[in-house]
């Protein structure tokens, strides 16, 4: 069920995407390929679409009809079955030549099928042949959008010394839809604490229609509408991109026609603020230094976390800055002892991303939380003690909130964006989560945390952690609904006081609790001497 990690290097002789049929001709370095298929990435199911494959001379000819397929939003690897019988194994088609990668960039190929989905082939940063499928978006997939890109590039390059001289810093969250994570709080610090001459080069990118726009409205002069012409020009000129997300969140990355994305990705220094402490969720394959999401500075909160980034992500220690997270500067305990609240916030699952709603309702994830929200024991516990439980899904699962039902007036199902996450974290008396990094925010406030990793074995196989959750978590670890109810009852009875053994570890795990995290980050950026920017040749040829 996990991802195919082995790679087979091939020489691509021909690629075509015509009349809804994808065709590949390739040869290997002696390996025998017995089957070829598209394999859906990041999913627990083994979803495959088989090519018709035949041997042709010293290579292979493979074709796949795309028109009749029921696609969803996903990425697909082209995977070969190498060998036969008991010796057969799967390997991703890789080592694809730079010529094909350049061809896809300069002359993008994509197909819109009869069900409104784009099928978009490309060569990724690891030189692997990859397919993306997603809904067609006229706003970003049209020739009008391409013209806008070319005009923005022309405007930048005609006045390049002027734009570069501004030394612009751009800050963004979640494709310009949010202003409530570390990016926003760092921006807020800059706007409120820096002198005018220093803050005039710092800008926040956000869609004006986003609910969070109201948070940045007081600083309107330093706010750029996401995907506006000005955004495109400033993105060309930016000295630093600052975010808790990867570089792709600064632009509409998935347009197959974009001439822009490779140019800006190759030239920018990223200051990675993170969402939270890196411990419970393995992300080094995505954010490692040798990959496409290379960072200039990687923000962490302790030497404990710095060791993880140095060992797994390949960064030098001087590239990993121990500063703490910007949003912690405003974090304080705002819980009401007369009206206590429990925050139930599970994280997402990479293998369930883009899952259709009916399939989601069949998952263990849905069944566990739906069962918990309607548990008689839990409802009685909340009602007897006058406690509200707030259920808040991770942003990547926000579309599924309507699938959950809770009849009790003591349970609130909160759609993403309805309340700022920081507010929920501060107003809660305790947290229940599975693997979410928000556990660190609650631990920072000296409140109890209960971990409920009901699918730990699956999570370890599909995602992985940098710590042994059952041994190293700073809170109770329960695996069943009954154990969870018992843990909640314990903390309700003791007035929501955390265990003494958890207090003793805080100075080691969270040594910086002085509300100066944003200040430290700003100073470290000013002091930074990052290496030269990648040039386009390096980006294309790897």
Confidence of residue 84 (pLDDT cuts 50, 70, 90): low
Residue 358 has pLDDT above 50, yes or no: yes
Mean pLDDT over 191-218 rounds to 96
375: nearest Cα among 399, 397, 391, 393: 391
> How many whole angstroms separate alpha carbon 487 and alpha carbon 449?
10
Confidence of residue 531 (pLDDT cuts 50, 70, 90): low
Identify the three-state secondary structure at position 41.
Answer: coil
DSSP label of 310 = H
> How many whole angstroms separate alpha carbon 348 and alpha carbon 366?
11
> How many whole angstroms separate alpha carbon 429 and alpha carbon 110?
51
Is residue 237 within 8 Å of 166, Cβ to Cβ?
Answer: yes
Q: What is the distance of C-alpha 58 from the center of its chain? A: 41
Residue 533 has pLDDT above 60, yes or no: no
Confidence of residue 522 (pLDDT cuts 50, 70, 90): very high
CATH number of 141-329: 3.40.50.11820
Q: pLDDT: is 354 or 120 the higher one?
A: 120
pLDDT at 190: 98
Question: Could you read off the pLDDT of 431-465 as tens digits, one per residue?
Answer: 999 999 999 999 999 999 999 999 999 999 989 99
Residue 538 has pLDDT above 80, yes or no: no
Question: Could you read off the pLDDT of 137-194 as tens digits, one per residue?
Answer: 888 888 888 889 999 999 999 999 999 999 999 999 999 999 999 999 999 999 999 9
Is residue 375 within 8 Å of 413, Cβ to Cβ?
Answer: no
> How many whole angstroms separate alpha carbon 385 and alpha carbon 485?
13
What b/e string do you get for 134-172 counting C-beta neighbours within 10 Å, with b at 16 or more? Answer: beeeeebbeeebbebbeebbebbeeeeeebeeeebbbbb
Is residue 392 within 8 Å of 305, Cβ to Cβ?
Answer: no
269: nearest Cα among 298, 290, 304, 239: 239
Location of each CATH 3.40.50.11820 domain in the chain: 141-329
Residue 471 has pLDDT above 70, yes or no: yes
Mean pLDDT over 467-479 rounds to 93
Q: Which residue has the tokens 């022309």?
A: 154
Q: Which residue has the tokens 């053994």?
A: 501
Confidence of residue 201 (pLDDT cuts 50, 70, 90): very high
pLDDT at 459: 93
pLDDT at 540: 40
Is residue 182 within 8 Å of 274, Cβ to Cβ?
Answer: yes
pLDDT at 132: 85
Burial class (CB in 10 A: 0-12, 13-18, 19+), 500: exposed
> How many whole angstroms separate alpha carbon 435 and alpha carbon 179?
23
> How many whole angstroms separate alpha carbon 119 and alpha carbon 531?
37
pLDDT at 498: 93
Instruction: List % helix, strand, coil for the chain (3-state, nearest 5).
Output: 40, 25, 40
332-509 is a CATH 3.40.50.12580 domain:
yes
Contacts made by residues 497-501, CB under 8 angstroms, sequence distance 24+:
497/448, 498/446, 498/447, 498/448, 498/449, 499/448
pLDDT at 86: 66
For the chain, give the mean pLDDT: 88
pLDDT at 525: 95
Confidence of residue 15 (pLDDT cuts 50, 70, 90): confident
Location of each CATH 2.60.40 domain in the chain: 7-136
Q: Which fold has domain 7-136?
A: Immunoglobulin-like (2.60.40)
> How many whole angstroms separate alpha carbon 275 and alpha carbon 273?
7
Q: Which ranges in 220-320 belong to alpha helices (H)?
A: 229-237, 261-267, 284-287, 303-313
pLDDT at 11: 83
DSSP for 416-483? TTSS-HHHHHHH-SEEEESS-THHHHHHHTT--EEE--TTHHHHHHHT--SS-HHHH-SSEE--SHHH
pLDDT at 542: 45
First-last CA distance in the chain: 29
pLDDT at 3: 62
pLDDT at 44: 66
| pTM of full prediction above 0.85 | no
Question: Could you read off the pLDDT of 295-348 as tens digits, one per residue?
Answer: 999 999 999 999 999 999 999 999 999 999 999 999 999 999 999 999 999 998
Mean pLDDT over 202-212 rounds to 95
Q: pLDDT: is 508 or 7 the higher one?
A: 508
Confidence of residue 109 (pLDDT cuts 50, 70, 90): confident
Identify the three-state secondary structure at position 201.
Answer: coil
> How many whole angstroms separate alpha carbon 208 and alpha carbon 415?
20
Location of each CATH 3.40.50.12580 domain in the chain: 332-509
């Amino acid at each position: 069920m996990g991802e195919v990690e082995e790679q087979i290097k091939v020489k691509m002789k021909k690629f075509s995407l015509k009349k809804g049929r994808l065709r590949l001709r390739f040869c290997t370095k002696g390996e025998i390929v017995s089957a070829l298929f598209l394999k859906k990435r990041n999913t627990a199911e083994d979803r495959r679409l088989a090519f018709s494959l035949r041997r042709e001379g010293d290579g292979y000819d493979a074709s796949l009809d795309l028109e009749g397929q029921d696609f969803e939003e996903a990425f697909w690897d082209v995977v070969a079955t190498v060998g036969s019988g008991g010796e057969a194994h799967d390997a991703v088609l890789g080592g694809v030549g730079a010529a094909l990668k350049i061809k896809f960039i300069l002359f993008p190929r994509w197909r819109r099928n009869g069900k409104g989905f784009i099928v978009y082939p490309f060569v990724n940063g690891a030189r692997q042949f990859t397919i993306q499928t997603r809904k067609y978006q006229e706003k970003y997939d049209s020739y009008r959008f391409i013209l806008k890109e070319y005009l923005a590039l022309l405007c930048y390059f005609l006045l390049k010394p002027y734009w570069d001289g501004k030394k612009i810093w751009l800050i963004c969250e979640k494709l310009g839809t949010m202003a409530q994570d570390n990016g926003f709080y760092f921006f807020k610090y800059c706007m409120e604490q820096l002198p005018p001459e220093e803050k005039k080069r710092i800008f926040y990118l956000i869609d004006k229609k986003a609910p969070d726009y109201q948070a940045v409205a007081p600083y309107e002069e330093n706010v750029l509408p996401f995907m506006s012409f000005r955004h495109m020009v400033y993105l060309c000129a930016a000295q630093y991109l600052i975010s808790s997300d990867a570089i792709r969140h600064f632009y509409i990355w998935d347009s197959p026609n974009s001439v822009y994305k490779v140019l800006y990705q190759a030239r920018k220094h990223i200051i990675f603020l993170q969402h939270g402490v890196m411990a419970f969720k393995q992300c080094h394959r995505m954010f490692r230094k040798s990959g496409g999401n290379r960072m200039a500075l990687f923000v962490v909160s302790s030497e404990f976390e710095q060791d993880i980034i140095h060992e797994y992500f390949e960064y030098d220690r001087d590239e990993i800055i121990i500063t703490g997270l910007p949003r912690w500067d405003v974090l304080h305990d705002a819980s009401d002892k007369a009206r206590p609240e429990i925050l139930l916030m599970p994280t997402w699952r990479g293998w369930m991303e883009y899952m259709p709603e009916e399939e989601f309702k069949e998952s263990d994830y849905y069944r566990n939380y739906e069962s918990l929200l309607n548990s008689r024991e839990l409802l009685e516990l909340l009602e007897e003690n006058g406690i509200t439980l707030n259920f808040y899904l991770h942003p990547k699962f926000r579309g599924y909130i309507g699938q959950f039902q809770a009849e009790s007036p003591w349970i609130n199902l909160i759609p993403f964006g309805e309340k700022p996450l920081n507010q929920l974290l501060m107003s809660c008396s305790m947290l229940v989560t599975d693997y979410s990094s928000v556990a660190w925010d609650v631990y920072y406030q000296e409140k109890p945390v209960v971990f409920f990793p009901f699918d730990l074995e699956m999570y370890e196989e599909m995602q992985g952690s940098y710590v042994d959750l059952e041994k190293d978590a700073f809170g109770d670890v329960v695996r069943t609904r009954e154990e969870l109810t018992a843990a909640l009852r314990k903390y309700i009875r003791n007035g929501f006081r955390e265990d003494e053994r958890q207090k003793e570890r805080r100075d080691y795990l969270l040594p910086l609790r002085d509300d100066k995290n944003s200040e430290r980050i700003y100073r470290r950026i000013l002091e930074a001497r990052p290496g030269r920017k990648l040039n386009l040749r390096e980006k294309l040829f790897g």
